[in-house]
Structure 1
Amino acid sequence: MPEYDYDIIIVGAGPAGCACAYQLRDHELKIALVDKSVFPRDKICGDALSADVVNQLYRMDEKLALEFERFPQKIDSHGIQFYAPNGNSLSVDFINPNHHNAAGYISKRMDFDAFLFKQIEKLPNVSILTGERVEDVQSNEQGVEVKVGNQVLKAQMVIGADGAQSIVNKKLGQIKVEKDHYSAGLRQYYEGVEGFHPKNYIELHFYDGVLPGYFWIFPLPNGQANVGLGMLSSEVSKRKIDLKKKLDELIHTHPNIKERFKNAQPLENIQGFGLPIGSKKRPISGNRFLLLGDAASLIDSFTGEGIGNAIRSGRIAADHLVKAFDNQCFDARFNKHYDKVVYQKMWKELRVSRALQKLLQYPKLFNFVIKKANNNSSVRILLSSMLTDVDLKKELLKPGFYLKLFFR
């Protein structure tokens, strides 16, 4: 029998990797959690935490969720403001689940990820290696070997929770960058941005020139703001858009925005990042490995939100790993069950979001819906319910929905 240093090596200590490790806390499995960074560390993101993120924490452990509810480095967010291409806006309240202080939160990823990471530091079955870059990953019939710095760690399974540029996917997986299924994004922190909703609504601005993407402004603790822009990489390439120039143009010249930034100051240089969006099904496992979160391309293509799905994939992976070790099955055929469960839980939402993203190619339709919702409270209530109910959200894809709006 071969000797193993660990049962499982998790590469990446973001929300997906930490969720997987935490979910395995009561099992007698020896785990190594490896990350190239030392926490706390920055992660370029919009920083919004949806109700689904909090729901996932409650499903993992109520004590963990309640500790997050008391976590000070966040602010409550009670709704969303949509800005149509013609400049009109619509405010929609989040539906607030009974056990939450708020339906959504906003917290810098430096703070939120550090919060999750601290929970893993307490677990006796997890060894943590931070500030260590994984150089290579190899798999064979006997196990996996992960080269970390000058040492080689051996285990039965390796988990790729290491983001969009996952080395586990690069060495063992099959997911390739496809511009039509990949978004380019920019983020810049500011202070002094004015005009936020008193209930800290997040803002999505869908303007001509950035469709089918959007510009965002999210309030943050301490009077700061997360400002950014995201677009499909295929559109950026086809239209030869300079995203940095476009971001600067929106901030300083758009009539809905420029006055809000007249006293604002940037706190950093513009940061760029890539989003592998979940707009097609992909193989996310194989012989002795699973891919989680961004490494598995599970980001919502309409909203760009990926934290909830990252945590959910970590939970699903942990349940699958328990079964794998109970049965001593680690091959690609057995691991396909992980793919099946992930897409059973997520594909309906991901598919609808992809279709909604395509509808953004019709700005007049967006303008029409915003106008009708502002004039009719029942439409606003319906749109609010659609934020969390994927079956209701599917109505947006049916021509009959817009005919009803037209004659309402």
Structure 2
Amino acid sequence: MTDSSYVFDLLIVGAGPAGFACAYQLRNQDLKIAIIDQATFPRDKICGDALSADVVNQLYRMEESLGEKFEKFAEKIDSHGVRFVAPNHTSLAINYQNPNQGNAAGYISKRLDFDHFLFQEIENQSNVEIFQGEKVLDILSSSDGIELNTATAKFSGSIIVGADGAHSIVNRKLGNIKVEKDHYCAGIRQYYEGVSGFHEDQHIELHFYKELLPGYFWIFPLPNGQANVGLGMLSSEVSKRKIDLKKALTDLIQSKPHLRNRFKNSIPLEKPQGFGLPIGSKKRPISGDRFLLLGDAASLIDPFTGEGIGNALRSGRIAAEYIIKAFENQNFTSDALKQYDKMIYHKMWNELRVSRQLQKLLKYPRLFNFVVKQANNNSSVRTLLTSMLDNVDLKKELVKLGFYLKLLFGDIR
């Protein structure tokens, strides 16, 4: 039996980046917004903790002062590039181009800190009330509105937003996105301190070992001499090959000589933590009568990199536009809200599709070895790959046979 009843215009489940962006974009609207989260902030979120150029871009697009405030945020480090380690253990370091107004193209910040930074930006927003420590137990949708129940309260609204991550109850109750192992990744994260050998420009590192393909092992530097270490693989491969990810993480660190040397004076700060990644490798319905799904709840994670924060922020920003239209027209039907789906995939599908194709190419380790070798021997190839990190139209070249023929015959200048 619930103790309290609340009536709002909009219910947002989840106070992470997607829920934040949606609420923040509605800060000047005459809408009463409830944000319901089962956690109490600050709270951890198992993740790689890397913040791409698009994350910074989305903050600036929401409001320039928000981007500037993030630039001054202390609990982060600049990251100026990425180090790829090929299956044959040769490495390639590439610096990012910087398309943003900020100091660096990318950053690394624990989600404990970054999400709390965002949380504090909406905590005192005049049209928002945040309910922490409230686990959603049930959601009911009718022609009259949405009803949401927790253990202690009942919430009513005209529309609900699912920004509650990979195991979204909004999707489970109202949506139709099912877990498909070929479109889902399993990951393991473990924090360390004392890992050595990082690039002077604080590159994130992606190690593509043959035994993990089409997944990868990562090492990301963090503030205060710490590191985020982990690995991710397609769930279908984990299941088919019966891989124990926690054991695989430990075995890699102990068995690879170059890793063993870098970890010899390190100290693990936690036990390995598992998490799931619903990747954006197929189009799905992400709205319906009186609901929208955002971020991880909408399976908008990049299939190649596993990055999802930028797309979470973008989806929240876009969702706000269609929520405003829904209230203006008093139309919360599936037909009206499916325009949100169309806009999301108009903005994101091109890159998600290319990333899925790149993920499939990881099944061919010799191809990866070849590209790294050519890039290390040819500055023009390195420059092209640098541009590809930020430009999806150039990135498309990586999935074309012609690109590899040009590499083979030295025809990239």
> Shorter-chain TM-score: which interval?
over 0.9
CA distance in 1, matches of 2:100, 2:47: 28
Equivalence for 1:379: 381
- More deviation in 9-18 or 246-255? 246-255
Shift of 1:52: 0.3
Question: Following the alignment from structure 1 to structure 2, what is the Cα–Cα distance between the partners of residues 267 and 215?
Answer: 18
2:123 counterpart (121, 141, 146) = 121
Deviation of the 1:150 alpha carbon: 2.4
1: CA distance, partners of 2:100 / 2:230? 31
Instruction: Describe the superposition over 1:127-168 as per-residue Cα deviations: whole angstroms up to 9, x where unpaired.
Output: 110011111111010100010222211100000000000000
Structure 1: unaligned runs, 5 residues or longer: none
Q: Residue in 2 aligned with 1:329? A: 331
Match of 2:222 among 220, 245, 253: 220
Q: Which residue of 2 aligns with 1:62?
A: 64
Output the CA distance in 2 between the equivalents of 1:232 and 1:291.
23
Deviations 1:86-113 (A, max 9, x none): 0000000000125110000000000000
* Aligned residue-pair number: 406
| Cα drift, residue 256 of structure 1 | 2.5
Give unpaired runs (5+ residues) of structure 2: none
1:209 aligns with 2:211: yes
Residue identity in the other structure for 1:77: S
Distance in 1 between residues matched to 2:37 and 2:190, nearest whole Å? 24
CA–CA separation in structure 2 for the residues paired with 1:299 and 1:256: 30
Hey, what does 2:33 align to over in structure 1? 31
1:300 to 302, 313, 319: 302
SS for the counterpart of 1:378 is helix
What TM-score comes out, normalization by structure 2 length? 0.97
Using the alignment, how far apart are the partners of 1:336 and 1:250 within structure 2? 45
Among candidates 250, 253, 268, match of residue 251 of structure 1: 253
Q: Which residue of 1 aligns with 2:349?
A: 347
- Cα displacement (A) at 1:4: 7.7
Amino acid at match of 1:390: V
Q: How far, CA to CA, are the matches of 2:195 and 2:362 in structure 1?
A: 27
Q: Distance in 1 between matches of 2:299 and 2:202?
A: 29
Question: Secondary structure at 1:229's aligned position in 2?
Answer: strand
Deviation readout 1:318-374 (Å, 9 max, x if unpaired): 011011111111001111000000000000000000000000000000000000000
Name the stretch that deviates more: 93-102 or 318-327. Answer: 93-102
* Amino acid in the other structure paired with 1:149: A
* Structure 1 match to 2:321: 319
Equivalent of residue 188 in structure 2, options 173, 186, 203: 186
Partner of 2:176: 174
Q: Distance in 2 between matches of 1:99 and 1:182?
A: 34
Three-state SS of the structure 2 residue aligned to 1:165 is coil
Q: Please, which of 132, 146, 149 is the counterpart of residue 148 of structure 2?
A: 146
Which residue of 1 is the match for residue 54 of structure 2?
Answer: 52
Query: Aligned residues: percent identity?
Result: 69
Q: Which amino acid aligns with 2:194?
A: G
Q: What RMSD over aligned residues (CA atoms) do the two structures have, in Å?
A: 0.9
1:4/1:40 Cα in 2 relative to 1: closer, same or farther (>3 Å)?
closer
Q: Counterparts of 2:337 and 2:10 in 1: how far apart (Å)?
A: 14
1:82 matched to 2:84: yes
Contact 1:4 1:156 in 2 (8 A): no
Match of 2:164, SS state, is: coil
The one-letter amino acid paired with 2:29 is H
Q: Which runs of 4+ in 1 moved over 6 A?
A: none
Aligned amino acid, residue 14 of structure 1: G
CA distance in 1, matches of 2:65, 2:135: 32
